[in-house]
Chains A and B, each alone.
Chain A
Amino acid sequence: MPVWQRIYEEVNDPNFVILCAAQDTGGEAVAGPIFDAANATYIQVVDPDHIISSAFNFVNVPSAAWVDEEGRIVRIDEGTYAKNHEIYKGDQTISFGTDVYSPALKDWIAKGKDSVHVQSAETVTSNIRQHTPDQLLADASFRLANLFRTHGYSEKAEHYWEKARSLNPDSVNFIRQNLTLTEEGSAGESFIKLRDGYITEGKDYYRPLDIES
């Protein structure tokens, strides 16, 4: 989050806004302090029901859409890391993210439709993931589960979470949301197996970032 804030301050353009939606199941108690630590001044949304992801058919975090002044999407659905990150696990260094996204974003903010990073409507629409009726129903089931959870009905919450996952098994959002509430957490063995499986099968964990370094 500090990185998005830094970009927001560097750009300092009154005609540019960031809407940053945190999908944490723990809601404000978890996401709020992270926003606060970043001294965020952009639009901050705590979104445990994944309303934004559902609207844009995202399946994983971080994901983003660039929307121009007329409301048209000019890029969508890429692993949206503001910078390259490295984390250390034992003697291993795990690297993720990229340093090419932020310069591309700034280029678009400065040049608008003349930016080389703006994609045609045809490209954008082909990059939007189509959602089937089952996947739409999964979103509704997920929100119902969250309602039951926050009202203390654990069995009903589990039932509708499971329904959501079975209706949309490819939603990494649902899988990671679930894992984060398990003993191993969201970055444990199950997650690594999932991620490696996507790579092995050539599936899009994120849509490949189409920006040259």
Chain B
Amino acid sequence: MSKAMMAYPDLRHPFEEKAIHPQGSATVLYQGRNVTLSEVGDGNSLLIRPDDLPGINGFVLKPQGACYADMCIPIGESLFVERNGKKWFDLTAFADLLGQPYVADINARVWSFAEIPSRRQDMMVDAMAPDFEVTDREGQVVRMADLKGKKALIVTWSSW
């Protein structure tokens, strides 16, 4: 760590160490969502219970594949893993299938996923605003879709 960074350690790192999730759990970050999974499969891949998928990224497993809105991604049995008598969905293999980058801290059991590239295609093709999900200061979830029907100024700032 550089000298400059160490100059204000209390400012830079003011937080007391605390557990990110209960023992045996895992945490998934995706587009503002912070999801704690109480049960995941062992190993370096992120093996989740199939029912946990919608809460992570909105995809639902259907006979025709993993579906989000009107998009369905065909998936093979290779994304499902039998381990310890349970059937798991390999979320990291699904991300690889989608070309979705992710970074994992295996020791901490935390996976952070970037946006799914195909979900940004509309913005690049016909300038349709990307979907996003944030929580406002009143605790309400706000999505781009909620603003449809109105003109919207989406603006970022910082006190930096």
Question: Complex formed: what's the CA distance from A108 to B31 in Å?
Answer: 30
Beyond A69-B151, A143-B29, is A151–B112 a contact (Cβ under 8 Å)? no
Chain A min CB distance to B139 (Å): 11
Q: Among B12, B112, B127, B160, which residue has its beta carbon within 8 angstroms of that of A72?
A: B127
Beyond A72-B129, A140-B114, is A51–B136 a contact (Cβ under 8 Å)? no
- Complex interface bits, B1-17 against A, C-beta within 8 A gives 1, otherwise 0: 10011011101110111
Q: Among A62, A68, A125, which residue has its beta carbon within 8 angstroms of that of B155?
A: A62
Q: Please indicate the chain A residues that have their CB under 8 angstroms from the CB of B153 in the complex.
A: 4, 16-19, 64-67, 105
Contact B115 A139 (CB under 8 A): yes
Contact A136 B5 (CB under 8 A): no
Beta-carbon nearest neighbor of A80 in chain B = B155
Q: Among A31, A45, A56, which residue has its beta carbon within 8 angstroms of that of B135?
A: A45
Beta-carbon nearest neighbor of A178 in chain B = B5
Asked if A99 is at the interface of the complex by the 8 Å CB criterion, the answer is: no
Question: Complex formed: what's the CA distance from A176 to B157 in Å?
Answer: 12
Contact B15 A17 (CB under 8 A): no
Question: Complex formed: what's the CA distance from A13 to B15 in Å?
Answer: 42
Chain A residues bordering chain B, tally (CB within 8 A): 91
Q: Please indicate the chain A residues that have their CB under 8 angstroms from the CB of B13 in the complex.
A: 149, 152, 154, 157
A residues 16-58 with Cβ under 8 Å of B?
A: 16-24, 28, 30-32, 34-35, 43-47, 49-56, 58
Question: Complex formed: what's the CA distance from A186 to B135 in Å?
Answer: 26
Q: Among B20, B27, B112, B156, which residue has its beta carbon within 8 angstroms of that of A63?
A: B156
Query: Which one of B61-69, B71-79, B82-90, B103-111 contacts A?
Result: B103-111
- Complex interface bits, A144-187 against B, C-beta within 8 A gives 1, otherwise 0: 10011111111011101001000000000000110111111011
Question: Complex formed: what's the CA distance from A163 to B102 in Å?
Answer: 12
Q: Please indicate the chain B residues that have their CB under 8 angstroms from the CB of A143 in the complex.
A: 29, 112
Contact B148 A71 (CB under 8 A): yes
Contact A17 B152 (CB under 8 A): yes
Contact B132 A147 (CB under 8 A): no
Q: What is A's interface to B at a CB cutoff of 8 Å? A: 1, 4, 13-24, 28, 30-32, 34-35, 43-47, 49-56, 58, 61-74, 80, 105, 108-109, 112, 121, 124-125, 128, 130-131, 133-134, 136-137, 139-141, 143-144, 147-154, 156-158, 160, 163, 176-177, 179-184, 186-187
9 closest residue pairs by CB, A with B: A183-B7, A152-B17, A136-B114, A137-B101, A154-B13, A186-B160, A144-B112, A64-B155, A121-B127
